[in-house]
Chains A and B, each alone.
Chain A
Amino acid sequence: MAGIKSLDELKALRDKHRESVLGRDTGDSENKIRITVGMATCGIASGARETINAIIDEVAKEHLMNVVVVQSGCLGYCYAEPTVEVRFPGKEAVLYGNIDAKRGRELVQRHIKNGEIQKDWIIEKTFNNI
């Protein structure tokens, strides 16, 4: 990266990456399923590292090319760590709590592969984002 030289360059870069992160445009077939694992201190201490490794492993095992696994900070649901968010392109994200490595693998199988939302593991989001 050679450094961004102007605001226009910055805007272009934003637009380029916007879709893949926000994943809101259903029309774009390149959009992938995004699995976000909360990897703040609380999460890691509760086993988020094991969870994310298990998920990555499972995704690889299943050759799920349309899935990206990312780490993120903390959503604030400390009582339910580790937390994992699954977002299909164009759909509202689903937030799961208490996802240990085992559940992580199951999540890949059930939600990602088979599209079954795991209702029992869902935690209700109690926030609006700006």
Chain B
Amino acid sequence: MAEYNLDHDKLKKLETYIDNLQEKEGALINILHEAQDIFGYLSKDVQLFIARKCGIPAAKVFGVVTFYSYFTMEPRGKHVVNICMGTACFVKGADKILAEFKRLLDIKEGNMSEDGMFTIDTLRCVGACGLAPVVIVDGKVYGRVKVEDVEGIIKEYKQD
């Protein structure tokens, strides 16, 4: 596996996952989810490895990765801030929350902060509309977020 510029243990883990799949046909998206969980993002080498391992054309893997917004080819920060931009959140000012995160972290949507601590992303409706506007950091949901709250949320994660 030396041909891939990837962590050996992680690659082994992914390989084991793929080997253990009962149904390989059509498993590409589940495999990509697993790979993104393991590596944090889907680099070219990860995609190539999956393509060759599963006998799927690399172009197809790339086509799939770029189609789904859940997959990313960029390294992600230690903490991923997801701002919900569903309608319910939008009408309750999610755009202002997003702007505040961008301002305080000084990065654009989809990018990672210079210190590698944060990535800001948006997503479409997590189905917690009752709590709009909603922010999710590393899977933890913050509801009814106000612009003033943003600084506090960032602080919570800056410490570690």
Contacts and interface: CB of A to CB of B under 8 A. Distances in A.
Q: Do chains A and B touch in the complex (CB under 8 A)?
A: yes
Interface of A: 41-42, 44-46, 78-79, 81
Interface stretch (B42-50, B91-99, B124-132, B150-158): B124-132
Contacts of A41: 126-128, 141
A101 to B, nearest CB: 16
A78 B131 contact: yes
Contacts of B142: 45
7 contacts: A41-B127, A42-B128, A45-B140, A45-B142, A46-B143, A78-B129, A81-B131
SS class, residues of chain A in contact with chain B? helix
Interface of B: 126-131, 134, 140-143
Contacts of B131: 42, 45-46, 78, 81
Contacts of A45: 128, 131, 134, 140-143
Contacts, number: 25
**Which of A41, A44, A45 has the most B CB atoms < 10 Å from its CB?**
A45
Contacts of A81: 130-131
**The 4 nearest A-B residue pairs measured at CB:** A78-B130, A45-B141, A42-B130, A45-B143
A46 B145 CA distance: 12
A81 B129 CA distance: 12
Given A41-B141, A45-B143, A46-B143, 14 more contacts: A41-B126, A41-B127, A41-B128, A42-B143, A44-B141, A45-B131, A45-B134, A46-B131, A78-B128, A78-B129, A78-B131, A79-B130, A81-B130, A81-B131
A45 B143 CA distance: 7
